[in-house]
Amino acid sequence: MIIEPSLLNPVTFHSALFELLRQQRSVFEMVLERSLGRAETTGCCMYGAILVQTAVQQWLPDCVARICGGDGHADGGYVDSAGAHHGHYWVEVAHADSTWVADITADQFDAPAVQLLNRVEAGEFYRAGDQQLVERHMAEVLESMGVRSAVALA
Protein backbone atom coordinates (compact mmCIF):
# COMPACT_ATOMS: atom_id res chain seq x y z
CA MET A 1 0.00 0.00 0.00
CA ILE A 2 1.45 3.36 -1.02
CA ILE A 3 1.50 5.92 1.77
CA GLU A 4 0.44 9.45 0.82
CA PRO A 5 2.92 11.60 2.79
CA SER A 6 1.04 14.79 1.96
CA LEU A 7 -1.86 13.51 4.08
CA LEU A 8 0.34 12.87 7.12
CA ASN A 9 1.26 15.34 9.82
CA PRO A 10 4.95 15.39 10.90
CA VAL A 11 4.45 12.99 13.83
CA THR A 12 2.43 10.52 11.78
CA PHE A 13 4.94 10.77 8.92
CA HIS A 14 7.83 10.04 11.28
CA SER A 15 5.99 6.99 12.63
CA ALA A 16 5.19 5.71 9.12
CA LEU A 17 8.77 6.21 7.93
CA PHE A 18 10.20 4.58 11.06
CA GLU A 19 7.95 1.55 10.55
CA LEU A 20 9.09 1.30 6.92
CA LEU A 21 12.73 1.41 8.10
CA ARG A 22 12.08 -1.24 10.74
CA GLN A 23 10.58 -3.52 8.09
CA GLN A 24 13.51 -2.92 5.74
CA ARG A 25 15.95 -3.72 8.55
CA SER A 26 14.18 -7.03 9.09
CA VAL A 27 14.40 -7.85 5.37
CA PHE A 28 18.06 -6.79 5.29
CA GLU A 29 18.93 -9.03 8.26
CA MET A 30 17.25 -11.98 6.55
CA VAL A 31 19.15 -11.35 3.29
CA LEU A 32 22.47 -11.02 5.15
CA GLU A 33 21.83 -14.18 7.17
CA ARG A 34 20.89 -16.23 4.13
CA SER A 35 23.62 -14.91 1.83
CA LEU A 36 26.54 -14.38 4.24
CA GLY A 37 25.58 -16.61 7.15
CA ARG A 38 25.42 -13.60 9.50
CA ALA A 39 23.01 -10.75 10.12
CA GLU A 40 25.79 -8.35 11.15
CA THR A 41 25.72 -5.10 9.15
CA THR A 42 29.39 -4.11 9.39
CA GLY A 43 30.57 -3.18 5.91
CA CYS A 44 27.09 -3.49 4.38
CA CYS A 45 25.75 0.04 4.81
CA MET A 46 25.75 0.86 1.10
CA TYR A 47 23.46 -2.08 0.35
CA GLY A 48 21.21 -1.15 3.27
CA ALA A 49 21.02 2.40 1.91
CA ILE A 50 20.05 1.09 -1.54
CA LEU A 51 17.27 -0.97 0.07
CA VAL A 52 15.99 2.02 2.07
CA GLN A 53 16.11 4.39 -0.89
CA THR A 54 14.20 1.92 -3.05
CA ALA A 55 11.55 1.31 -0.35
CA VAL A 56 11.02 5.02 0.27
CA GLN A 57 10.65 5.69 -3.44
CA GLN A 58 8.15 2.84 -3.78
CA TRP A 59 6.04 3.41 -0.67
CA LEU A 60 6.44 7.18 -0.15
CA PRO A 61 6.46 8.48 -3.74
CA ASP A 62 6.01 12.15 -2.74
CA CYS A 63 9.31 12.05 -0.87
CA VAL A 64 12.79 12.54 -2.27
CA ALA A 65 15.29 9.95 -1.04
CA ARG A 66 18.99 10.22 -1.78
CA ILE A 67 21.90 8.14 -0.60
CA CYS A 68 24.52 10.16 1.24
CA GLY A 69 27.81 9.17 2.78
CA GLY A 70 31.40 9.89 3.43
CA ASP A 71 34.76 8.20 3.69
CA GLY A 72 35.18 8.75 7.43
CA HIS A 73 38.32 10.82 6.99
CA ALA A 74 38.35 14.21 5.30
CA ASP A 75 35.07 13.77 3.43
CA GLY A 76 32.21 13.17 5.84
CA GLY A 77 30.90 9.91 7.22
CA TYR A 78 29.60 8.82 10.62
CA VAL A 79 30.97 10.10 13.92
CA ASP A 80 30.32 7.66 16.78
CA SER A 81 29.66 8.53 20.42
CA ALA A 82 33.41 8.33 21.20
CA GLY A 83 34.17 10.83 18.42
CA ALA A 84 35.70 8.28 16.03
CA HIS A 85 35.02 8.85 12.33
CA HIS A 86 33.85 6.03 10.05
CA GLY A 87 33.08 5.66 6.37
CA HIS A 88 29.34 5.17 6.04
CA TYR A 89 26.25 5.43 3.79
CA TRP A 90 22.70 6.39 4.78
CA VAL A 91 19.61 7.90 3.15
CA GLU A 92 18.26 11.42 3.49
CA VAL A 93 14.50 11.63 3.02
CA ALA A 94 12.97 15.01 2.20
CA HIS A 95 9.30 15.48 3.06
CA ALA A 96 7.41 18.78 3.18
CA ASP A 97 9.65 21.23 5.07
CA SER A 98 11.89 18.65 6.72
CA THR A 99 14.71 16.29 5.91
CA TRP A 100 15.26 13.06 7.80
CA VAL A 101 18.35 10.88 8.08
CA ALA A 102 17.31 7.24 7.71
CA ASP A 103 19.80 4.48 8.57
CA ILE A 104 19.24 0.74 9.06
CA THR A 105 22.91 -0.15 9.72
CA ALA A 106 23.95 2.23 12.52
CA ASP A 107 24.35 -0.69 14.92
CA GLN A 108 27.80 -1.30 13.46
CA PHE A 109 28.78 1.82 15.45
CA ASP A 110 27.01 0.74 18.67
CA ALA A 111 24.03 2.98 17.86
CA PRO A 112 20.44 1.79 17.52
CA ALA A 113 20.04 -0.50 14.51
CA VAL A 114 17.33 1.73 13.01
CA GLN A 115 17.92 5.45 13.19
CA LEU A 116 15.53 8.14 12.02
CA LEU A 117 16.70 11.60 12.97
CA ASN A 118 15.81 15.03 11.68
CA ARG A 119 18.68 16.55 9.71
CA VAL A 120 19.52 19.06 12.46
CA GLU A 121 19.88 16.49 15.27
CA ALA A 122 21.61 14.04 12.93
CA GLY A 123 24.39 16.52 12.17
CA GLU A 124 26.25 15.45 15.30
CA PHE A 125 26.70 11.94 13.86
CA TYR A 126 26.00 12.06 10.11
CA ARG A 127 28.20 14.29 7.99
CA ALA A 128 27.58 14.10 4.27
CA GLY A 129 30.65 14.09 2.07
CA ASP A 130 31.03 15.03 -1.59
CA GLN A 131 27.62 14.11 -3.06
CA GLN A 132 28.98 13.85 -6.61
CA LEU A 133 31.54 11.30 -5.43
CA VAL A 134 28.82 9.33 -3.61
CA GLU A 135 26.62 9.36 -6.71
CA ARG A 136 29.49 8.21 -8.95
CA HIS A 137 30.29 5.35 -6.59
CA MET A 138 26.62 4.38 -6.37
CA ALA A 139 26.34 4.40 -10.18
CA GLU A 140 29.36 2.08 -10.45
CA VAL A 141 27.99 -0.32 -7.83
CA LEU A 142 24.49 -0.33 -9.31
CA GLU A 143 25.91 -0.93 -12.78
CA SER A 144 27.86 -3.91 -11.42
CA MET A 145 24.52 -5.19 -10.04
CA GLY A 146 22.85 -4.84 -13.45
CA VAL A 147 21.11 -1.52 -12.74
CA ARG A 148 21.97 1.10 -15.37
CA SER A 149 22.57 4.05 -13.01
CA ALA A 150 21.66 5.61 -9.68
CA VAL A 151 19.05 7.62 -11.61
CA ALA A 152 17.30 4.32 -12.38
CA LEU A 153 16.47 4.02 -8.67
CA ALA A 154 15.55 7.68 -8.26
Q: What is the pLDDT of residue 154?
A: 47
Using a 10 angstrom Cβ sphere, with 0-12 exposed, 13-18 middle and 19 or more buried, the burial of residue 129 is buried
Domains of the chain and any CATH numbers:
5-153 (3.10.670)
Nearest CA to 96 out of 13, 154, 22 is that of: 13
Task: Note the pLDDT tens digit of each residue in 44-102.
Answer: 999 999 999 999 999 888 899 999 999 998 899 999 999 999 999 999 999 888 899 99
Q: Which residues contact 18 (CB under 8 A, 6 or more apart)?
A: 114, 116
Pairing of strands 126-127, 77-79: antiparallel
pTM exceeds cut of 0.85: yes
